[in-house]
Amino acid sequence: MESGRGASSPVGRGRPGRPESAASGRELCRGAFIPVGRSGNLTLCDKIALMGVPMGATTSPPAYAHVLSPAAVDFVLSLERRFGARRRELLAARAARQARLDSGERPDFLKETAELRRSEWTVAKAPADLLDRRVEITGPPERKMVINALNSGAKVFMADFEDSHAPVWEATLAGQANLMDAVRRTVSFKSPEGKEYRLKEKTAVLLCRPRGWHLEEKHLLLDGRPVSGSFFDFGLYFFHNAKELLARGSGPYFYLPKMESHLEARLWNDVFLFAQESLGVPRGSVRATVLIETLLAAFEMDEILFELREHSAGLNCGRWDYIFSFIKKLGADPACVMPDRAQVGMTSHFLRSYSRLLIETCHRRGAHAMGGMAAQIPIKDDPAANEAALAKVLADKEREAGDGHDGTWVAHPGLVPVAAGVFDRLMPAPNQLAKRLPDLRVAAADLLAVPSGTRTEEGLRSNLSIGVQYLAAWLSGNGCVPLKNLMEDAATAEISRAQVWQWVRHGALLSDGRPVTAALARAVLSEEVAKVAPDRYAAGRLALAAKLFEDMFTAPRCVDFLTVPAYAHLD
């Protein structure tokens, strides 16, 4: 297996030894859709199904040819061949577990791993450049955003191929090219107005978040089946950058999303071991922070850390997706109907229990316990509203730092100094790994406590308006969307549509006594869509988003992820 050092490969039929180029890719492919089989010695065109984006035909052909080098594609396919069946088995296990939950089963801590939870062990010590993670900024791997995030003053930048990225083929390839340039410090950008953007001398540490296990990359097929989006995103980033990052004193660092069990973490660990061995990267170079953003994962935090102990960089409170997961997993139970989304905050008992359990679990195991996202963005034209938004951020970050989190997330560079100020004041050391919560006792009932509150027409309208507008933007190719002074990603749309589904499913009563019916939700949806300027999104995307949203909130069961059916409509 060739490394990511730019080694060439014979790829042209009848022309052994000739490296693939943008021109030859265009000559061979011409937009053909050719699946990959198990035979060897295939051309690059044999290996890539470029649906509507022929090699070399888009805005940055050299970058695309570099990203999709034959050796890089071979590496991604090797991951799919070795681990694809296991991934599908784990997804089937998710579906079976959901069926049991729908039938009344309730999550609990695993009896078979009780001894592991009782025993003393720790994860590998954090690398030097991951010891201080007090503020992390996240965003999609768009070129200008990458530069601004790395220059933001945050300790870490998580480049996101998941919730804040709409996986349009061209954008996904461009994102990988942008990160390759960022790793090598050659990334730059010039705006249409002529403003130039370049990296500062001191930049944030780069982490990459690949897509979750449930997502696929439809443009690359193996034996007629799309490869895993996880393998595609991880594989290209690792192949092209792992050795370069190590040579520069850092390493291949990742965030892992949407996991539901320690067996899913075990699969990631096996992927890391295989990837390192295949490319001659020292074992243990990979470090991964797991987002605890599903209800079931909250019951297996020790087990997840143990599976990844050689490669662990801690856990993170992915709170918005966690709320979505809570609704989805328990949604069939009328006793678990949630109040307005705006009434569900981190001081709710079930969320506070989960976040404090995460802190204690991580610190007991020598791992970082990262706090959640502040989605607020600066409000330039309304000082009073801006002050109120910053006050919310301050209160949230003071709670996190006071509880013992080792850092936090922000979505906008303007919030980096706000969050940093709190952690600098309350956490003068690089982290709080020594801080324990010895008296903490969290039972299953604490994690399953449904928050009290009311359901209102305003809450219904907000869910439908924000959810549909986000989905329309996502379908237009934008996964990171400012709406009502918040930087929204897919998690917001997921909470919104799952909550509407739950309210419709159970005929939940609004505060004025009306039940939420499918007819009421459709009427409100129509009214909210009519308020949106017709030219705000790409042609037809708002109507498509409304149709997808309606299909999901009237479905007999909660659709697992809205991005799965929506992905069929992306190029």
Enter the pTM of the model. Answer: 0.90
Does the pLDDT value for residue 38 go beyond 60? no
> Are both 173 and 195 inside the same structural domain?
yes
Strand 287-292, strand 253-256: pairing: parallel
Residue identified by tokens 């949230």 is 396
Binned at pLDDT 50, 70 and 90, residue 64 comes out as confident
Mean pLDDT value across the chain? 90
Is 39 contained in some domain?
no
> Are both 208 and 244 inside the same structural domain?
yes
Cβ-Cβ contacts under 8 Å for 461 (sequence gap 6 or more):
524, 527, 528
Cβ-Cβ contacts under 8 Å for 289 (sequence gap 6 or more):
207, 253, 254, 255, 256, 312, 313, 314, 315, 316, 368, 370
Residue 354, phi then psi, degrees to nearest 5: -65, -40
Query: Is 489 among the catalytic positions?
Result: yes
Question: Once rounded to an integer, what is the mean pLDDT over residues 142-152?
Answer: 98
Residue 12: what pLDDT? 30
Cβ-Cβ contacts under 8 Å for 375 (sequence gap 6 or more):
320, 411, 486, 487, 488, 492
Is 70 contained in some domain?
no
Is 195 exposed, middle or buried (CB count within 10 Å of its CB: 0-12, 13-18, 19+)?
A: exposed
Residue 59: what pLDDT? 34
The catalytic residue among 489, 497, 505, 541 is 489
Burial call 450-471: b when 16+ CB within 10 Å, e when fewer: bbebebbeebbebbbbbbbbbb
Q: Which range of residues forms the domain containing residue 410?
A: 77-447
CA distance 292 to 322: 7
CA distance 492 to 541: 18
Return the CATH number at 423: 3.20.20.360
The enclosing H or E element of 12 equals: none
Count CB neighbours of 421 within 10 A: 13
Whole-number percent of the chain with pLDDT over 90: 86
Residue 62: what pLDDT? 59
* Number of domains observed in the structure of the chain: 2
Does the pLDDT value for residue 26 go beyond 60? no
Question: Once rounded to an integer, what is the mean pLDDT over residues 104-127?
Answer: 98
Q: DSSP code of 335?
A: G
Count CB neighbours of 379 within 10 A: 16
> Are both 442 and 464 inside the same structural domain?
no
Is 31 contained in some domain?
no
- Inter-CA distances, 180 with 9, 71, 78, 126, 236, Å: 20, 16, 21, 24, 10
Residue 34: what pLDDT? 31
Q: What is the per-residue pLDDT across 477-493, written as a single tens digit (0 to 9) for each?
A: 999 999 988 899 999 99
> Are both 349 and 443 inside the same structural domain?
yes
> Are both 175 and 101 inside the same structural domain?
yes
Q: Are 65 and 55 spatial neighbours (Cβ–Cβ below 8 Å)?
A: yes
Does the pLDDT value for residue 446 go beyond 50? yes
Question: Once rounded to an integer, what is the mean pLDDT over residues 535-551?
Answer: 94
Q: What are the DSSP calls for 68-132, one per residue?
A: T-HHHHHHHHHHHHHHHHHHHHHHHHHHHHHHHHHTT------GGGHHHHHS---PPPPPGGGS-
Q: Are 227 and 219 spatial neighbours (Cβ–Cβ below 8 Å)?
A: no
Cβ-Cβ contacts under 8 Å for 15 (sequence gap 6 or more):
none
Residue 185: what pLDDT? 98
Strand 486-488, strand 481-483: pairing: antiparallel
Closest CA to 406 of 244, 289, 283: 289
Looking at the DSSP assignment, which residues form a beta bridge with residue 225?
A: 222
Is 426 contained in some domain?
yes
> Are both 492 and 403 inside the same structural domain?
no
Is 251 contained in some domain?
yes
Q: What is the per-residue pLDDT across 163-187, written as a single tens digit (0 to 9) for each?
A: 999 999 999 999 999 999 999 999 9
Looking at the DSSP assignment, which residues form a beta bridge with residue 158?
A: 138, 207
CA distance 506 to 330: 12
Does the pLDDT value for residue 293 go beyond 50? yes
- Inter-CA distances, 408 with 304, 368, 552, 555, Å: 21, 11, 32, 36
Residue 63: what pLDDT? 59
Question: Once rounded to an integer, what is the mean pLDDT over residues 408-437?
Answer: 97
Residue 534: what pLDDT? 82
Last residue of a domain, one of 406, 422, 447: 447
CA distance 95 to 112: 21
Residue/partner pairs of 542-550 with CB below 8 Å, 24 or more apart: 542/468, 542/469, 542/472, 544/472, 544/475, 544/569, 545/468, 545/469, 545/471, 545/472, 545/474, 545/475, 546/468, 548/471, 549/464, 549/467, 549/468, 549/471, 549/497, 549/500, 549/525, 550/521, 550/522, 550/525
Is 5 contained in some domain?
no
Is 370 contained in some domain?
yes
Strand 481-483, strand 205-209: pairing: unpaired
Q: Are 73 and 48 spatial neighbours (Cβ–Cβ below 8 Å)?
A: yes
Q: Classify the phi-psi angles of 510: left when phi > 0, otherwise alpha if psi is within -120 to 50, otherwise beta.
A: beta
> Are both 515 and 443 inside the same structural domain?
no
Residue 54: what pLDDT? 35
> Are both 381 and 265 inside the same structural domain?
yes
CA distance 497 to 525: 11
Closest CA to 231 of 212, 206, 259, 244: 212
Q: Under DSSP, is residue 311 helix (H, G, I), strand (E, B) or coil?
A: coil
Residue 539: what pLDDT? 87
> Are both 200 and 273 inside the same structural domain?
yes
Question: Once rounded to an integer, what is the mean pLDDT over residues 158-165?
Answer: 98
Q: What is the per-residue pLDDT across 209-249, written as a single tens digit (0 to 9) for each?
A: 999 999 999 999 999 999 999 999 999 999 999 999 999 99
Residue 417, phi then psi, degrees to nearest 5: -65, -30
Last residue of a domain, one of 447, 470, 493: 447
Does the pLDDT value for residue 268 go beyond 70? yes
- Inter-CA distances, 236 with 19, 89, 138, 208, Å: 18, 24, 20, 11
Residue 168 tokens read as 């349009």
Residue 4: what pLDDT? 36
Question: Once rounded to an integer, what is the mean pLDDT over residues 404-430?
Answer: 97
Q: What is the per-residue pLDDT across 298-354, written as a single tens digit (0 to 9) for each?
A: 999 999 999 999 999 999 999 999 999 999 999 999 999 999 999 999 999 999 999
Last residue of a domain, one of 447, 465, 500: 447
Question: Once rounded to an integer, what is the mean pLDDT over residues 188-209?
Answer: 97
CA distance 544 to 528: 14
Residue 538: what pLDDT? 87
Residue 55: what pLDDT? 36
> Are both 384 and 359 inside the same structural domain?
yes
CA distance 427 to 404: 9
Is 555 contained in some domain?
yes
Return the CATH number at 532: 1.20.1220.12
> Are both 164 and 287 inside the same structural domain?
yes
> Are both 169 and 277 inside the same structural domain?
yes
CA distance 161 to 217: 12
Count CB neighbours of 523 within 10 A: 11
The catalytic residue among 94, 134, 209, 211 is 209
